[in-house]
């Protein structure tokens, strides 16, 4: 009898497992198929919508083409504007009677002033020499000037004097590209 009790427990366990497994494939297969169809439909719809948006953004696509204005029977097509100042301006001259000293006085400058760029001011001569070397590699002609003031000894790295504003601007642009800040200085020509 003890053996018989064991067999019953085993058979009941198998019956339970078989019953549970029989129910899930029948109901789960239909819902799984329905879910896959909805998922597939959503993917196809998303891809189609993305493709249509892509086509609309292409240059020369339907959104880029604007309808051309059709001329009416009584009107002429509008002529394109003709710009003549390209030919006229180079041939024009303007004569002005102005004294260069007057212009310099109005600007607050004099002819004996020169412009320099200060590319750094350092406490140590080694630091100034390093900045000078960086500027030499850029093709500029720097010099180091030692100054003594109330706050001690300083070594200034100077560029110039420049023969024209355009040369000064070119040097300033070159130093700015290398992240070297410069200070524009105006001095008298004799000092």
Domain limits, the chain: 1-62, 109-188
Residue 107 is predicted with a pLDDT of 63
Residue 79 is predicted with a pLDDT of 78
Residue 149 is predicted with a pLDDT of 85
Residue 12 is predicted with a pLDDT of 54
Q: Produce one character per residue of 5-36: b if its CB has 16 or more CB atoms within 10 Å, e if not.
A: eeeeeeeeeeeeeeeeeeeeeeeeeeeeeeee
Residue 14 is predicted with a pLDDT of 52
Residue 166 is predicted with a pLDDT of 87
Per-residue pLDDT for the chain (191 aa), expressed as one digit of tens each?
A: 555 555 555 555 555 555 455 555 555 678 888 899 999 999 999 999 999 999 988 887 555 555 555 555 556 667 787 878 777 777 777 777 777 766 666 665 555 678 899 999 999 999 999 999 999 999 999 999 999 988 999 999 999 898 888 889 999 999 999 999 999 988 877 66
Q: Which CATH architecture describes the domain 109-188?
A: 2-Layer Sandwich (3.30)
Residue 43 is predicted with a pLDDT of 95
Q: What is the DSSP letter of 84?
A: -
Euclidean distance between CA atoms 28 and 21, whole angstroms: 11
Residue that is written with structure tokens 């029948």 in the block: 26
Residue 16 is predicted with a pLDDT of 53
- Cα-based distances in Å from 180 to 14, 120, 145: 85, 8, 18
Burial of 134 (0-12, 13-18, 19+ CB in 10 A): middle
Q: What is the DSSP letter of 51?
A: H
Euclidean distance between CA atoms 136 and 133, whole angstroms: 5
For the entire predicted model, the pTM comes to 0.43
Q: What angle do CA 78, 80, 85 make, to 5 degrees?
A: 145
Burial of 150 (0-12, 13-18, 19+ CB in 10 A): exposed
Q: What angle do CA 150, 151, 155 make, to 5 degrees?
A: 110
């Amino acid at each position: 009898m003890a053996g018989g009790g064991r067999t019953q427990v085993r058979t009941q366990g198998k019956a339970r497992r078989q019953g549970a497994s029989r129910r899930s494939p029948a109901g789960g297969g239909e819902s799984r198929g329905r879910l896959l169809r909805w998922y597939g439909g959503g993917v196809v719809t998303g891809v189609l919508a993305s493709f249509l948006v892509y086509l609309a953004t292409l240059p020369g696509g339907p959104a880029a083409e604007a309808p051309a204005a059709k001329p009416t029977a009584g009107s002429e097509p509008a002529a394109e504007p003709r710009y003549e100042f390209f030919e006229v301006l180079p041939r024009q001259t303007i004569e002005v009677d102005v004294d260069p000293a007057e212009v310099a006085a109005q600007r607050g400058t004099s002819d004996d002033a020169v412009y320099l760029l200060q590319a750094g001011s350092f406490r140590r001569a080694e630091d100034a020499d390093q900045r000078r070397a960086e500027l030499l590699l850029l093709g500029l002609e720097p010099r180091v000037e030692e100054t003594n003031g109330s706050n001690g000894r300083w070594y200034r790295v100077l560029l110039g004097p420049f023969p024209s504003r355009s040369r000064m601007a070119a040097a300033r642009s070159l130093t700015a590209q290398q992240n070297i800040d410069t200070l524009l200085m105006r001095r008298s020509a004799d000092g």
